Chains A and B, each alone.
Chain A
Amino acid sequence: QPVLTQSSSASASLGSSVKLTCTLSSGHSTYIIAWHQQQPGKAPRYLMKLEGGGTYNKGSGIPDRFLGSSSGADRYLTISNLQFEDEADYYCETWDSNTRVFGGGTKLTVL
């Protein structure tokens, strides 16, 4: 089954941009993933579905500041014009016919 690898933490300044990475395991580089945001004390929130070619589809109400992109086995979430409310844990997810997998999450700190 696929494995998703994420850096444990990232930080960036208010108003700047940050690019988070989710890496698919060998043999699974073409998989579609999803990004989720989990603010402190809240349930996860679906952000977008991201394909290997870089096409992404965002969930309802997700600001334009959230963008997706891909390169090989890497899937990226770029957040521009960072706001304090973006400080959260970000998880990637993938799935196939009979399993669903989440990455370990990246804790984003807005300085």
Chain B
Amino acid sequence: QVQLQESGPGLVKPSGTLSLTCAVSGGSISSSRWWSWVRQSPERGLEWIGEILQSGSTSYNPSLKSRVSISLDKSKNQFSLKLTSVTAADTAVYYCARSASGPVDSWGQGTLVTVSS
């Protein structure tokens, strides 16, 4: 069974760039279709950020599209998230997730990212 593990800084300064990586184990990142990032805050609930297909094609939430980039590193079996120009509103628990055939069917444990000076 595939397992996902997020990693990255827990504190980011305002106007900086949030960078997270999701390590995939128990399966090849090339064997599933979509690899997603979802965040959760009390204000917004669960919010889809975007996803990358195994082919490298990406889709992003329109509300975040100008600031988001998701990439895939098949050699390391991981994928990454970059969110630029962050503000306090980007403070949330960030989850990486997998979708093999439609819905998210595997979630990482989540990592809290706080935007503060």
Q: Which of B1-19 contact A (CB under 8 A)?
A: 1
A101 with B95: in contact, given A43-B107, A46-B106 (CB under 8 Å)? no
Report the stretch among A11-19, A63-71, A91-99 that lies at the interface.
A91-99
Binding-face segment, B23-31, B40-48, B84-92: B40-48
Q: Are B105 and A46 closer than 8 Å at their CB atoms?
A: yes
- Distance, CA A47 to CA B61, complexed state (A): 24
Given contacts A98-B59, A99-B61, A102-B47, contact A44 B102 (CB under 8 A): no
Please give the distance in Å from B64's CB to the nearest CB on chain A: 12
Partner of A34, one of B1, B51, B104, B108: B104
Return chain B residues, CB-CB under 8 Å to A60.
1
Chain B contact residues, majority secondary structure: strand
Size category of the B interface is: 20 to 34
**In the docked arrangement, what's the CA distance between A82 and B70, Å?**
40
Q: Would you give the 0/1 interface string for B36-70, flagging 1 where the beta carbon is closer than 8 Å to chain A? A: 10100000011110010000000101000000000
Interface residues on A, range: 20 to 34
Q: Which residues of A in the span 14-40 have a Cβ within 8 Å of any Cβ on B?
A: 32-34, 36
The reply to whether A46 and B103 form a contact with Cβ atoms under 8 Å apart is: yes
* Chain B residue with Cβ nearest A100: B48
Partner of B107, one of A44, A49, A102: A44
Contact A100 to B109, CB < 8 A, known contacts A34-B103, A36-B104, A49-B102 = no
Closest to A105 in B: B45
| A45 surroundings in chain B (CB, below 8 A) | 107
Determine the chain A residues whose CB is within 8 A of the CB of B36 once the complex forms.
100
Which of A's residues lie within 8 Å of B, judged by CB? 32-34, 36, 43-46, 49, 59-60, 91, 93, 95, 98-102, 104-105
Residues of B within 8 A of A (CB): 1, 36, 38, 45-48, 51, 59, 61, 95, 99, 102-110
